[in-house]
A and B are shown apart, each in its own frame.
Chain A
Amino acid sequence: MKNKNLYNYILGIADNSLILGQRLGELCGHGPSLETDIACTNMSLDLLGQVRSYYQYAAKIAGDGRTEDDIAMLRKEREYFNVLLVEQPNTDFGYTMARQFLFDVYHFLMLTELEKSTDLNLSAIAKKSIKEVSYHKRFSSDWIKRLGDGTEESHSRIQTAINDLWTYTDELFHQTEADKAIVAEGVGVDVTKLKDAYYEEVNAVLEEATLSVPQSKYFQKGGKQGIHTEHMGYLLADLQYMQRTYPNMEW
């Protein structure tokens, strides 16, 4: 492959959306209320739509006959480069919203920078996606505040979720070797520079939600290198079932 770095860079971005989209999709018909059910599946659809654009582009770069579907469905666990945060299970609605919020704030900041990419394909996808992601961020921030500033039960549950998922936030700002090379070319986003703005925004929402900001400095990493948590295998089994059982099937 001529441009392996760019290919890996695109997968890193796209895999986050694919895996989070899959998690949100699990709530289809299982959301706590009709409105939240529809909201989560709407967000899932947005993310999967964005993913298609990224994978189509990646498939073009790979140029080895693989399609967007092959890239999405037929890789092994170690070949997915999503951050650990997005593969964490839904657990309860508090976890679902905490995961969403912690990702949305990052996602929005990242896309704002990706819009300026010298790669016109990536810049176009970012421009399109950011409009959708601003709705996601609005929705998840709202829920953090409603749950945090809600009842004793909702407050304690969302605080637990934030505390548990906090350990996965630092990885959002790690760079792989491929990332560094692509940033140097002016194509990729230097995520290390987003960190301050991220925590500032996250902390402000938590404060408004009467939640405390976790102080732990212990952070998990590995997703960007393909080393995932124990949840990933089960998620992929679900995601890949049809393609593995009926190879080459199409809608």
Chain B
Amino acid sequence: MTTTEQHINPKLVEILESISDPEIPVLSIMDMGVVRSAIIENDVVKIEITPTYSGCPAMDVIGDDIKLAMQKAGYEAEVDLILHPAWTTDWITPRGRKALEDYGIAAPLDAEADKSVLLEGKQLVKCPQCGSTNTKMISQFGSTACKAQFQCNDCQEPFDYFKCLK
């Protein structure tokens, strides 16, 4: 139960990668790192997912989407929500980080940098529009629980920063 390894049956990877996060549609739930295990037991697919934030309303939708996608692929699926080990932004894959940037959301920095950015106003977050690090935080809380609001001082565009969670 303490392992941070994912146990995903290779047969299911493709199906799971086709399911996207309902709030960040460019990101698959695999790239997000919320699928912790997916195994096939007596023809039933058993999947464990973990929430990014406790109150994340996307989890119910993700659970339904998984069941639907598995059904289409001919599997019956059971989805369980697990809390331990707790999700961290480190589980977002490199491909996921790239997808976030392309979508206009700044990907999470490491924990130390995140602190300097949110507490001391250091300019480390890169604007996903123009690439400048001359940016400022508008609010620690953003459009969803996992994001903070930023603005670029150069191109003036407001954007979301995916907060580091460790």
Contacts and interface: CB of A to CB of B under 8 A. Distances in A.
Chain A binding surface, main DSSP class = helix
Chain A interface: which size bin?
A: 20 to 34
15 contacts: A35-B138, A35-B141, A38-B141, A45-B53, A47-B55, A48-B55, A53-B83, A120-B1, A127-B86, A131-B165, A132-B53, A132-B54, A132-B145, A135-B163, A139-B141
B140 A138 contact: yes
B59 to A, nearest CB: 9
Interface of A: 35-36, 38-39, 42-43, 45-50, 52-53, 120, 123-125, 127-129, 131-132, 135, 138-139
B86 A46 contact: no
B141 A39 contact: yes
Interface in B36-60: 51, 53-57
B122 to A, nearest CB: 15
B72 interface: no
Given A120-B1, A138-B140, A49 B56 contact: yes
B11 interface: no
A70 B9 CA distance: 37
B119 interface: yes
Nearest to A130: B86
Interface of B: 1, 51, 53-57, 83-87, 118-119, 138-143, 145, 149, 163, 165-166
Given A135-B140, A138-B118, A42 B145 contact: yes
Contacts of B53: 45-46, 49, 132
Contacts of A47: 55
Contacts of B163: 135
Contacts of A131: 86, 165-166
A161 to B, nearest CB: 21
A49 B140 contact: no
Nearest to A124: B84
B47 to A, nearest CB: 18
B49 to A, nearest CB: 13
A50 B141 contact: no
Given A35-B139, A38-B142, A139-B141, A49 B51 contact: yes
A118 B143 CA distance: 36
Given A35-B139, A49-B53, A123-B84, 12 more contacts: A35-B141, A36-B139, A39-B140, A42-B141, A42-B145, A45-B53, A45-B55, A52-B54, A52-B55, A128-B87, A132-B53, A139-B141
Contacts of B51: 49, 128
A124 B81 CA distance: 12
Contact of B54 (A35, A46, A120, A139): A46
